């Protein structure tokens, strides 16, 4: 298939893995990214290095809120599928700057949908989040469960999903919204728990763990998420559809730390911190619908996934000037680690100095 796929947020953690996968499939890809300041642009440029070594991948530096930027890409390329991953991520920072989250995640999504419609792009795949659900007690979430987000980030994803539905029902494009559950793996965002904990443990620094470390997350390995996105690209699903992409097996945070310790052969120095607002105790995906309609079958266990992550971390530490261990050195100056899924703990004013 020679149709071009446009990936917004293509230089990010998930976007860069998707670009690599689609190159392997022989697709033509445009990665659009504005290299925002949530974490350093050099890390994002290095994420894309491998994908950009293919002639079939190009990079456009633009902001999804800038319709002219989108027009100039969509006006010159025959884009048949658009994967909209660009967003301001992070639960806790969204409590400090909700306007920014609404602007990027809601107005940005509106701009993408409007431009997709203007240029006749038939299908959009949208990156939503488990954060739309909010608090749950002991049961997997089905897609039909009412959403009660706990943070402006989660609320921004609910609002963006609503826009996707509205566009899909009023002339298109068709949209598949995928609710990702705590994605991890090589190149995971530096603010996320597994990345931060690995750096802190490897460098002998204290690990701040919120609550008693008993919170549960449905950690999902990046290759499983990319499988799900690919399936959504291929599926014939007119209109609007929403799917959970998780593993369906929540894991206790302290168990994740034990697996990282095992991989690194090092002991964590844990300091327990109060539970922050905005974070649910449990995330738990019901993946029955994704299994039935997308053939989604996550296959990487948490043991295997963490082992792979730690191997990547060690390799990168040895060879790269952007080694996660070096980033860890900078992180000491910042507040102690967040411990859960896709949140960052650091106020934006400090992020520019960090990492």
What are the structure tokens assigned to 272, written together? 């327990």
What CA–CA distance (Å, rounded) separates 169 from 223?
31
Nearer to ligand NAD, 119 or 184 (CB): 184
247 lies in the binding site for ligand NAD (CB under 6 A): no
CA-closest candidate to residue 217, choices 305, 281, 291, 287: 281
Nearer to ligand NAD, 136 or 266 (CB): 136
Candidates 21, 27, 44, 92: give the one binding ligand NAD (CB under 6 A): 44
**Cα 49–Cα 186–Cα 152 angle in degrees, nearest 5:** 100
Nearer to ligand NAD, 87 or 175 (CB): 87
Active site residue 153: yes
63 lies in the binding site for ligand NAD (CB under 6 A): yes
Binding string, residues 327-346; x marks residues near ligand NAD by CB under 6 A: --------------xx----
Nearer to ligand NAD, 123 or 189 (CB): 189
Min dist. Cβ of residue 338 to ligand NAD (A): 12
In the beta sheet, which residues pair with residue 217? Answer: 251
180 lies in the binding site for ligand NAD (CB under 6 A): yes
What CA–CA distance (Å, rounded) separates 307 from 334?
27
67 lies in the binding site for ligand NAD (CB under 6 A): no
**Exactly one of 153, 219, 296, 309 is catalytic; which is it?**
153
Choose the binding region for ligand NAD from 6-14, 247-255, 306-314, 315-323 (rule: CB under 6 A).
6-14
Candidates 11, 74, 302, 336: give the one binding ligand NAD (CB under 6 A): 11
227 lies in the binding site for ligand NAD (CB under 6 A): no
What CA–CA distance (Å, rounded) separates 217 from 210?
13
Nearer to ligand NAD, 2 or 22 (CB): 22
Nearer to ligand NAD, 127 or 268 (CB): 127
H or E stretch at 221: strand 220-221
What CA–CA distance (Å, rounded) separates 200 from 128?
29
Is the bond into 44 cis (omega within 30 degrees of 0)?
Answer: no
Residues present in the chain in total: 355
**Cα 324–Cα 6–Cα 68 angle in degrees, nearest 5:** 105
132 lies in the binding site for ligand NAD (CB under 6 A): no
CA-closest candidate to residue 350, choices 83, 47, 37: 37
33 lies in the binding site for ligand NAD (CB under 6 A): yes
CA-closest candidate to residue 160, choices 117, 118, 101: 101
Candidates 36, 218, 286, 339: give the one binding ligand NAD (CB under 6 A): 36
* Residue nearest ligand NAD, CB atom distance: 12
What CA–CA distance (Å, rounded) separates 88 from 145?
24
64 lies in the binding site for ligand NAD (CB under 6 A): yes
Q: Which residues contact 315 (CB under 8 A, 6 or more apart)?
A: none
> Residue 215 burial (CB < 10 Å; 0-12/13-18/19+)?
buried
The counts of H helices and E strands in the chain are 14, 13
Binding string, residues 79-118; x marks residues near ligand NAD by CB under 6 A: ------xxxxx--------------x---x----------
20 lies in the binding site for ligand NAD (CB under 6 A): no
Catalytic residues: 153
Name the site residues for ligand NAD (rule: CB under 6 A).
Answer: 8-9, 11-15, 33-36, 38, 44, 63-65, 85-89, 104, 108, 127, 129, 180, 182-183, 189, 341-342
């Amino acid at each position: 298939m020679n149709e071009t796929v446009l990936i917004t947020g293509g230089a990010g953690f998930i976007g860069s893995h998707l670009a690599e996968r689609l190159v392997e499939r022989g697709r033509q890809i445009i990665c659009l990214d504005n290299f925002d300041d949530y974490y350093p642009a050099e890390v994002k440029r290095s994420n894309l290095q491998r994908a950009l070594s293919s002639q079939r991948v190009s990079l456009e530096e633009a902001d999804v809120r800038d319709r002219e930027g989108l027009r100039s890409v969509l006006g010159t390329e025959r884009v048949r599928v658009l994967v909209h991953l660009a967003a301001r991520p992070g639960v806790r920072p969204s409590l400090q700057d909700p306007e920014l989250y609404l602007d990027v995640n809601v107005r940005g999504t509106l701009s993408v949908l409007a431009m997709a419609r203007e240029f006749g792009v038939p299908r959009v795949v949208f990156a939503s989040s488990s954060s739309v659900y909010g608090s749950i007690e002991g049961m997997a979430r089905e897609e039909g469960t009412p959403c009660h987000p706990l943070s402006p980030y989660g609320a921004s994803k609910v609002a963006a999903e609503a826009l996707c539905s509205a566009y899909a029902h009023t002339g298109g494009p068709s949209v598949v919204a995928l609710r990702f559950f705590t994605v991890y793996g090589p190149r995971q965002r530096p603010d996320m728990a597994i990345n931060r904990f690995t750096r802190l443990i490897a460098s002998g620094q204290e690990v701040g763990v919120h609550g008693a470390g008993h919170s549960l997350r449905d950690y999902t390995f990046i290759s499983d998420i990319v499988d799900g996105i690919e399936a959504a690209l291929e599926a014939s699903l007119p209109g609007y559809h929403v799917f959970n992409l998780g593993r369906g097996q929540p894991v206790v945070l302290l168990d994740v730390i034990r697996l990282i310790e095992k991989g690194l052969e090092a002991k964590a120095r844990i300091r327990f911190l109060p539970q922050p607002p905005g974070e649910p105790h449990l995330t738990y995906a019901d993946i029955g619908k994704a299994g039935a309609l997308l053939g989604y079958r996550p296959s990487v266990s948490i043991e295997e996934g963490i082992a792979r992550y730690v191997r990547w971390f060690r390799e990168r530490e040895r060879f790269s000037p952007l080694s996660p261990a070096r980033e860890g050195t900078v992180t000491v100056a910042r507040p102690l680690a967040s411990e859960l899924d896709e949140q960052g703990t650091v106020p934006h004013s400090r992020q520019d100095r960090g990492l």
